[in-house]
Chains A and B, each alone.
Chain A
Amino acid sequence: MPELSILGRRLPKVNSWAHLTGSAKYADDIILPRMLYGRLLRSTEAHARIKRLDVSRALAYPGVIAIVTGADMPEKMGIMPSTQDETALAVDKVRYVGEPVAAIAALDEDIAFDALSLIDVEYEPLEPILGIEEALTRDDVKIHDESKRGNVFKEVHLSFGDLDKAFAEADHVREDWFFFEGNTHAPIESHSCVANGEANGNVTLWTCTQVPHYLHRELEKVLGVPRARIRVIATPNGGAFGGKSDPFAHEFAACLLALRTKRPVKFTLDREEVFYAHRGRHPVKMRIKTGVKQDGEITGVHFQSWLDGGAYASYGIATTYYTGALLTVTYRVPAYKFDGVRVYTNKPPCGPKRGHGTTQPRYAFECQLDKIAEDLGLDPLEYRKRILQPANSRTVNDLRITTMGLGECLERVGEATGYSKKHGKLAPGKGIGLAGSAYISGAGLPIYWNEMPHSGATVKIDRGGGVTVYCGTAELGQGSDNMLASITAETLGVLPEDVHVVSGDTSLAPVDLGSYSSRVTFMAGNAVKDAASRLREQLVCVVAERLGVPAARVVTALGRVFDRDDPETGLTFVEAAVAAEARYGTLSAAGWYKPPPGIGGTFKGAGVGPTPAYSYQACVAEVRVDLETGVLTVDRMVTAHDCGRALNPVNVEGQIEGSMYMGYGEVIGEEQVFRGGLHKKPSLLDYKIPTSLDTPRLEAIIVESVDAEGPYGGKEAGEGPLNPAIPAIANAVYDAIGIRFDETPITPDKILDALAKKKVRVGPTGLDDDHDAKASLRRLNASTDARERKRDA
């Protein structure tokens, strides 16, 4: 590959300046003439039938302009076309506390808030289902009538190789149970949108979404308005992390209210509402049985997962498969069986959070490998390096592996921290832990079956040398706009700031499936490179002819198109563009990307797991435990990440550091927990996002494997580095105090309790020890009764 002029350099993001001067327009920053303010009425019941819903008093309140309810939008919707079980607003039944029931548009937000209490709703309470085991066994209560067994949403079973033989041949077999608590994204920007109803019946929606294209499809379905009449514009997201990748009630409500009033309507959720919108990390109970030879070589793995999905499907079918799909891509696993079940419960729906479905099993597996290494007397680092899945191979579940940098990642974090010298040898209360992991560079399949590209882009060059790139990706802060500009600039030989980016607009930009599953750099990057390359070819041809040299010798870089062998001879980019336009006509080209065939298997369920390239990463964490107070301090975390090629190293490091940070938060105390169906801590005071004073020293190490299919060799960097952080800390805690934490989060109260009771392990022992939810419910009923009695007396 020729030398790169833009990619690989530590350049500021092209959209930084807007962020740093306050001029970036997030959805809530949009103020339009005649704009109305919306608010959602949410269910106060976890599970209930709506007996009566009367908005007449609220509608009569001065300043209220319009109200819509579930009956106005009864069409089923949901992000996955095969499992659509939601409606925009609740119809007939509510299934979690916080579920949107009605939407008000008023002259200002104070009026909308006041009017909420004037909507009369009468509920007929139903028994809520709050835990996994209960959901599996209770046939008498159905959250969704469609569930055949209990409240099961989806059950999957996959088997590869001869597992019985694998366990029979093993010298050592371990069976461990784990529980990963649910948690949520908590972006600092709460969800917000503005819809504008136009006189001709068209509607434009500005919204912080990761998936403008998928949202576009759902709006058409629910509103009954053709997609050609709807325009979705993804505004810059103030953080998303998976939490803005479903279609949401406020988006439908804003559009319908805007269409009815022919006015702009804004909805901005308050922080508490964001916890109810959720779609975050599933609570998952897991059992892993792994057989190994005396030297640690894995003979087979049986992995079982039970996912608490909350009240609706969201991405749940993919999440379920993801808990089982990627365990085979890191270490050699010759026989593998996966059983996964996702259940409905009366809680806010779970969905994809950074690491989607792979974070929980990775935690379990890497903790178990730590135990296996100890059982066999092996150094956990050397052990992992010995059993690596090779590059350019296929896994037992038929996943194609190309570049594979896990070995180098392990080596680099080991060197940076002196892991093997410290592990097992630190003073009591101090520990060091290690874990490896992998992630996808985009899902191999779109969420709806089609044979079209996954990502499309157009690039145009104007006569002044300005370049515009159009692509349907959504900017979340992950740097996708900068990636589009940088790849375009590299390919055409201009500077990133010469490139104008139009992203996330369904009317202006070709379809990209969206900013989820870490697909944008790989897929949109390839699409943009494809489009820009077509224009580059025109520039090169016309300049080669002008200079009288072979086209192969013509280089485009830094605003010039010139002869490689005689760099002084050439044209400026503007001259080249003018010459090319004169020769070929208006300079515009489309490009696209679709993953190649054959990257995965053909069995049912093979659609989840394949990707054009896996990223790999390893993390070492160093911790201290205060043995008297149980306080866990993580002093330092080092993560090495194989990103193919670092197209912008500053950005890649930022993603690695941010992922470590988020993983740290999940293991140290973030939890989305409930009492009798009601969220226990829906605020940023009680939901414990780490502050600057808590966050460990974070060190990012970039490992480059230069993937042949990635755009200029790049792979993903946004999600994978979260995964090893959590087991690395859990393993470090074991090294510090000799207690295995087979459940998350690892909080001071759990540590103190385990120390006092001299426990060697904290975690589940089976599927049926899930008593908490029921106990809370009993308590809720008891206190409700007591309250009523006091009232009666």
Chain B
Amino acid sequence: MTKQLLTLRVNGERHTVAAEPHHTLLEVLREELQLTGTKHGCELGECGACTVLVDGVPILSCLTLPVQLGDAAILTVEGLATGATLHPLQTAFADEGAAQCGYCTPGMLMAAKALLDANPRPTRDEIAHAIAGNLCRCTGYTAIYEAVEKASRA
């Protein structure tokens, strides 16, 4: 099958890539744009590792066809920091040990960012619901709650 040209707006920059139409946003981000910060754990929508934001909304890149995104703003973990300044979630995750192996972390950060953008002072219960689509196998989620709470106070 032939590749098609595709322009995506990722982390504030427009990139034109050639991609096969059946390749998902996850595959295009990682393989065509080499933005490998977005991870994958199942490719079936069963783990949340590939979460990115599209116009601020968390979605799964493994179940999204990039051609359908048009000019929507795609945010990946690589675009979370503002220039050289880390996002408060990033520093809070470091301080609280919320990233152990770091593999669910990019997706977790995206889900947490969407939460804080909509709800700057979430309760622990609201955080738990916001990250209910992101499996973490290392932390037991406790440090993640603490980090999101810390970032919300920043």
Complex: A in contact with B (CB within 8 Å): yes
Task: Give residues in A with beta carbon < 8 Å to B.
Answer: 10, 12-13, 15-26, 28-29, 31, 110, 185-190, 236-241, 270-271, 476-479, 650-651, 653-654, 657-658, 660-662, 664, 683-685, 689, 691-693, 695, 698, 700
CB within 8 A of A478: which of B31, B95, B100?
B100
Cβ–Cβ contact B41 & A271, under 8 A = yes
Cβ–Cβ contact B94 & A187, under 8 A = no
CB within 8 A of B139: which of A31, A186, A654, A664?
A654
Chain A residues closer than 8 Å to B97, beta-carbon distance: 12-13, 650-651, 653-654
Cβ–Cβ contact A21 & B103, under 8 A = no
Q: Which of B16-48 contact A (CB under 8 A)?
A: 20, 30-31, 34-44, 46-47
CB within 8 A of A658: which of B36, B37, B132, B140?
B140
Cβ–Cβ contact A188 & B136, under 8 A = yes
Q: Does B131 contact A (CB under 8 A)?
A: yes
With A661-B139, A661-B141, A684-B135 in contact, is A477–B102 under 8 Å at CB?
Answer: yes
Cβ–Cβ contact A22 & B41, under 8 A = no
A-B contact list, 9 entries, CB within 8 Å: A16-B99, A21-B81, A22-B78, A28-B36, A31-B36, A186-B137, A238-B101, A650-B95, A683-B44
Cβ–Cβ contact B109 & A20, under 8 A = yes
The docked-state distance in angstroms from the alpha carbon of A126 to that of B44 is 34
Cβ–Cβ contact B100 & A479, under 8 A = yes
Chain B residues closer than 8 Å to A21, beta-carbon distance: 37, 77-78, 80-81, 86, 90
The docked-state distance in angstroms from the alpha carbon of A201 to that of B47 is 40
* Beta-carbon nearest neighbor of A659 in chain B: B140
The docked-state distance in angstroms from the alpha carbon of A651 to that of B98 is 10
The docked-state distance in angstroms from the alpha carbon of A176 to that of B30 is 53
Chain B residues closer than 8 Å to A650, beta-carbon distance: 95-97, 143
Chain A residues closer than 8 Å to B77, beta-carbon distance: 20-22
Chain B residues closer than 8 Å to A26, beta-carbon distance: 36, 39, 103
B84-119 contact mask (Cβ, 8 Å, vs A): 1 or 0: 001000100111110111111110010000000000
> What is the CB-to-nearest-CB distance from B144 to chain A, in angstroms, rounded to a whole number?
8
The docked-state distance in angstroms from the alpha carbon of A22 to that of B134 is 16
Chain B residues closer than 8 Å to A13, beta-carbon distance: 94, 97, 99
> What is the CB-to-nearest-CB distance from B106 to chain A, in angstroms, rounded to a whole number?
5
CB within 8 A of A695: which of B46, B78, B127, B140?
B140
Cβ–Cβ contact B81 & A188, under 8 A = no
With A20-B109, A188-B39 in contact, is A689–B137 under 8 Å at CB?
Answer: yes
Could you say which of A185, A477, A695 has the most chain B C-beta atoms within 10 Å of its C-beta?
Answer: A477
Cβ–Cβ contact B141 & A683, under 8 A = no
Cβ–Cβ contact B138 & A22, under 8 A = no
Cβ–Cβ contact A31 & B101, under 8 A = no
**Interface contact tally, CB-CB below 8 A:** 167
> What is the CB-to-nearest-CB distance from B119 to chain A, in angstroms, rounded to a whole number?
16
Could you say which of B99, B132, B140, B141 has the most chain A C-beta atoms within 10 Å of its C-beta?
Answer: B140
Q: A22-B77, A661-B139, A684-B44 are known contacts; what are 13 more A-B pairs with Cβ within 8 Å?
A: A16-B102, A19-B102, A20-B99, A22-B36, A23-B37, A26-B103, A188-B47, A189-B103, A239-B103, A271-B43, A476-B101, A654-B97, A662-B137
The docked-state distance in angstroms from the alpha carbon of A650 to that of B33 is 35
Chain B residues closer than 8 Å to A28, beta-carbon distance: 36, 40
CB within 8 A of B31: which of A31, A477, A654, A657?
A31
The docked-state distance in angstroms from the alpha carbon of A28 to that of B138 is 20
* Beta-carbon nearest neighbor of A25 in chain B: B36
Task: Give residues in B with beta carbon < 8 Å to A.
Answer: 20, 30-31, 34-44, 46-47, 49, 76-78, 80-81, 86, 90, 93-97, 99-106, 109, 127-129, 131-132, 134-144
> What is the CB-to-nearest-CB distance from A724 to chain B, in angstroms, rounded to a whole number?
15
* Beta-carbon nearest neighbor of A239 in chain B: B101
The docked-state distance in angstroms from the alpha carbon of A251 to that of B3 is 31
Chain B residues closer than 8 Å to A691, beta-carbon distance: 132, 135
Chain A residues closer than 8 Å to B103, beta-carbon distance: 26, 187-189, 238-239, 477
Chain A residues closer than 8 Å to B39, beta-carbon distance: 26, 188-189, 238
Cβ–Cβ contact B132 & A692, under 8 A = yes
Cβ–Cβ contact A189 & B141, under 8 A = no
With A20-B99, A21-B78, A271-B41 in contact, is A657–B47 under 8 Å at CB?
Answer: no
Cβ–Cβ contact B138 & A654, under 8 A = yes
Chain A residues closer than 8 Å to B76, beta-carbon distance: 22
Could you say which of A15, A650, A683 has the most chain B C-beta atoms within 10 Å of its C-beta?
Answer: A650
With A684-B135, A689-B137 in contact, is A188–B90 under 8 Å at CB?
Answer: no
> What is the CB-to-nearest-CB distance from B68 to chain A, in angstroms, rounded to a whole number?
20
The docked-state distance in angstroms from the alpha carbon of A660 to that of B141 is 11
Cβ–Cβ contact B43 & A270, under 8 A = yes
> What is the CB-to-nearest-CB distance from A397 to chain B, in angstroms, rounded to a whole number?
33
* Beta-carbon nearest neighbor of B96 in chain A: A650
CB within 8 A of B102: which of A12, A20, A185?
A20
With A13-B94, A20-B94 in contact, is A31–B34 under 8 Å at CB?
Answer: yes
The docked-state distance in angstroms from the alpha carbon of A271 to that of B134 is 16
The docked-state distance in angstroms from the alpha carbon of A674 to that of B110 is 36
Chain A residues closer than 8 Å to B96, beta-carbon distance: 650
Chain B residues closer than 8 Å to A660, beta-carbon distance: 140
> What is the CB-to-nearest-CB distance from A107 to chain B, in angstroms, rounded to a whole number?
13
> What is the CB-to-nearest-CB distance from B84 to chain A, in angstroms, rounded to a whole number?
11
Closest 10 CB pairs of A and B: A22-B37, A477-B101, A19-B102, A238-B103, A661-B140, A29-B36, A22-B77, A12-B94, A684-B46, A16-B94
* Beta-carbon nearest neighbor of B47 in chain A: A684
The docked-state distance in angstroms from the alpha carbon of A12 to that of B97 is 7
> What is the CB-to-nearest-CB distance from B100 to chain A, in angstroms, rounded to a whole number?
4
* Beta-carbon nearest neighbor of A190 in chain B: B41
Cβ–Cβ contact A689 & B100, under 8 A = no
> What is the CB-to-nearest-CB distance from A242 to chain B, in angstroms, rounded to a whole number?
12
Cβ–Cβ contact B142 & A238, under 8 A = no
